[in-house]
């Protein structure tokens, strides 16, 4: 094609040049007009031809570039999808018949995948639902099998399938209940801080086990899950047990929606009225910080480091543990820098001074909660989550994606294996009834919140707070107060607002 065009162009070019040369030589008589037309055609050809070629070349190159970029993007997408499926495949719960071999792809990198023959763990044998695999499970499994046969996988697997231990064959292994009521579990028991019921699990021997933990070993608890899978009910069932426990204890609720904490309104173990506003939450956390400082200063003359050692002394008034429940904690922390700061500042002192956190939230990722708080959550409960990033901060997000029963959760508790647990259900009326019967519901709701521990705003700070309340922007306030705006000037205003519990 190009050759044909080039040939035509060369012929036209040649003819025009010939006409010009002949006219120059006066060998032929050429009309002036024809001469002018010929000359201009030649000039046009000489100019347009390289231009055209240049444009064509550029067009060709850019097309190739776009093409390559598209291919590259598609390849990246495919790799990402393969990695995602691959990661999920690592966490499938597989049910196999006795004697069947199961292979697990142990390396997440597709190119360096290694396939290991693994013996099914007994604790993973019954997960309480024998449904057929979901579409994404089958897809992930199919992908793994495909990779198994094509990438670095042993062609002939010669290991013998290990024998399953005798007794408790899978058919008779216990199955987690789909629903577990708390009341029968605590009926006739005397609730104690040493025996907080978390739920039921299937133990190593394939038997149903009621999982309990002492409060002091749980320390701080993080509970994560998508909306409607059981976080608030979980908070209530733990709080009820602490409320009924025979040991002394003070309890604190921060619950901006006011629903989870409602049945505890009249609990006589409440250290403060239930905090339903961010301002009250700040006041409470400030007061708790003051209490922790007070406790630390009580410890030092006795040279003790923690509340249990202090309480073991003979000549002191024992200090009660304080359990702090914060529902929708991560959304509060994301929206209110002052609360986030306060919690981060006190987190190290909490355990030593006997203050235990129960934080529930829809997301516990690195962006929703500072690492120094997340790292203190030594007990983790993950209900169903939409994707593993949601529970990434607690390290059990991948498994939690596959949960499909309300109240079912993957749990990690100090000193225990990761376990699948059916957490107990309890409703508001039952909580109120039990508190009433146990004589723990005497208190009439009080409106007195602790006074703020930090100093009252200075006149300058008052002006800033007033302007912010009047909807002035940071720039406007800074201009008014500092005479300058932007950058560090605005930051200084932000700090003042944060200090007084305003989220900017
Ligand atoms: N342990 C449980 N056993 C059985 N059903 C449960 C359990 N926990 C919760 N449910 C059911 O799920 C519903 C929602 O539970 P819950 O309010 O605890 O969800 P949530 O995770 O707090 O949701 P949100 O993020 O929207 O507040 C409950 O009303 C109840 O019907
Ligand atoms: Mg809730």
CATH code at position 293: 3.40.50.300
> Same structural domain for residues 330 and 266?
yes
Look at residue 377 and tell me whether its pLDDT is greater than 90.
yes
- Strand stretches in 364-504, DSSP E: 379-382, 408-412, 419-422
Does residue 249 sit in the same domain as residue 370? yes
Query: In 353-470, which residue ranges form alpha helices assigned H by DSSP?
Result: 371-374, 397-400, 428-437, 459-469
Are the beta carbons of 421 and 199 closer than 8 angstroms?
yes
- Provide the pLDDT for residue 30: 67
Alpha carbons within 13 angstroms on the beta-carbon side of residue 334 total 12
Looking at the structure, do residues 229 and 329 belong to the same domain, yes or no?
yes
Of 66, 83, 100, the last residue of a domain is: 83
* Number of domains, the chain: 4
> Helices 474-482 and 459-469 meet at what angle, rounded to 10?
150
Atom of ligand 1 nearest to the CA of 229: 21
Please indicate, yes or no, if residue 444 is contained in any of the structural domains.
no
Residue nearest to atom 5 of ligand 1 (CA): 406
322 and 418 housed in the same domain: yes
The verdict on 196 and 343 lying in the same domain is yes
**CB-hemisphere CA count at 13 Å for 266?**
16
Q: What is the mean pLDDT of residues 378-386?
A: 95
Pocket of ligand 1, candidates 176, 183, 228: which has the most ligand atoms within 8 Å of its Cβ, to mutate? 228
Distance CA 233, CA 423 (A): 9
Q: Do both 65 and 156 map to the same domain?
A: no
What's the confidence (pLDDT) of residue 140?
64
CA of 378 to the centre of ligand 1 (A): 23
pLDDT tops 80 at residue 409: yes
User: Any idea which ligand is nearest the CA of 179?
Assistant: 1
- Kindly tell me the sign of the dihedral angle through the C-alpha atoms of 290, 291, 296, 301: positive
In a shared domain, residues 283 and 142: no
Confidence class for position 72, pLDDT limits 50, 70, 90: confident
CA angle centred on 211, ends 168 and 371, rounded to 5°:
120
pLDDT at 135 over 50: yes
Which of 15-24, 173-182, 366-375, 376-385 shows the lowest per-residue confidence on average (mean pLDDT)? Answer: 15-24
Do 304 and 355 belong to one domain? Answer: yes
Ligand number, closest to the Cα atom of 362: 1
State the closest ligand 1 atom to the C-alpha of 199, by its place in the atom list counted from 1. 1
Residue 464 lies in a domain: yes
- Which atom belonging to ligand 1 lies closest to the Cα atom of 180? 3
Distance 428 CA to ligand 1 centre (A): 12
Same domain, 202 and 331: yes
Question: In terms of residue numbers, what domain contains 141?
Answer: 91-172
Question: For ligand 1, which residues put their CB under 6 angstroms from it?
Answer: 179, 225, 227-233, 362, 406-407, 423-425
CA 256 to chain centre: 21
Output the pLDDT for position 454. Answer: 58
One domain for residues 332 and 189: yes
Do 74 and 101 share a domain, yes or no? no
Instruction: Give the mean model confidence (pLDDT) for residues 34-57.
Output: 82
């Amino acid at each position: 094609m190009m050759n044909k065009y080039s040939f035509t162009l060369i012929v036209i070019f040649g003819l025009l040049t010939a006409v010009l040369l002949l006219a120059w030589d006066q060998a032929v008589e050429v009309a002036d007009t024809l001469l002018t037309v010929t000359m201009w055609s030649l000039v046009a050809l000489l100019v347009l031809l390289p231009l055209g070629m240049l444009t064509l070349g550029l067009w060709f190159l850019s097309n190739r570039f776009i093409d390559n970029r598209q291919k590259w993007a598609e390849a990246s997408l495919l790799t990402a999808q393969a990695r995602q499926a691959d990661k999920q495949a690592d966490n499938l719960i597989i049910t196999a018949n006795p004697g069947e071999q199961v292979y697990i792809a142990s390396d997440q990198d597709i190119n360096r995948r290694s396939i290991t023959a693994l013996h099914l763990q007994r604790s993973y044998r019954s997960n309480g639902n024998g449904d057929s695999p979901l579409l994404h499970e089958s897809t992930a499994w199919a992908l793994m099998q495909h990779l198994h046969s094509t990438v670095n996988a042993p062609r002939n697997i010669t290991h013998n399938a290990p024998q399953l231990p005798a007794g408790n064959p899978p058919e008779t292994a216990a199955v987690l209940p789909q629903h577990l009521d708390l009341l029968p579990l605590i009926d006739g028991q005397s609730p104690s801080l040493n025996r907080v019921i978390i739920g039921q699990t299937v133990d190593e021997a394939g038997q149903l086990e009621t999982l309990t933990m002492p409060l002091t070993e749980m320390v701080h608890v993080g509970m994560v899950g998508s909306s409607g899978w059981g976080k608030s009910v979980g908070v209530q069932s733990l709080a009820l047990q602490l409320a009924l426990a025979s040991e002394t204890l003070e309890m604190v609720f921060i619950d901006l929606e006011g629903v989870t904490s409602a049945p505890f309104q009249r609990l006589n173990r409440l250290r403060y009225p239930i905090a339903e506003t961010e301002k009250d939450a700040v006041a409470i956390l400030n007061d708790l910080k003051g209490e922790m400082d007070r406790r630390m200063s009580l410890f030092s003359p006795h040279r003790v480091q923690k509340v249990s050692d202090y309480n073991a002394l003979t000549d002191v008034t024992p200090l009660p543990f304080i359990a702090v429940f914060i529902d929708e904690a991560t959304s509060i922390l994301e929206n209110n820098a002052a609360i986030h700061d306060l919690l981060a500042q006190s987190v190290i002192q909490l355990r030593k001074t006997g203050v235990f956190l129960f934080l529930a939230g829809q997301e516990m990722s690195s962006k929703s909660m500072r690492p120094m708080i997340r790292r203190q959550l030594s007990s983790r409960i993950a209900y169903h989550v939409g994707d593993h990033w949601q529970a990434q901060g607690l390290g059990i997000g991948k498994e939690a994606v596959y949960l499909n029963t309300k109240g079912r959760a993957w749990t990690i508790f100090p000193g225990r294996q990761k376990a699948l647990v059916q957490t107990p259900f309890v409703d508001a009326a039952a909580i109120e009834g039990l508190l009433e019967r146990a004589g723990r519901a005497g208190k009439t709701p009080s409106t007195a919140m602790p006074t703020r521990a930090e100093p009252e705003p200075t006149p300058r700070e008052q002006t800033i707070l007033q302007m912010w309340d009047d909807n002035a922007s940071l720039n406007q306030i800074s201009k008014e107060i500092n005479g300058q705006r932007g950058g560090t000037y605005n930051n200084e205003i932000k700090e003042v607002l944060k200090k007084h519990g305003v989220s900017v």
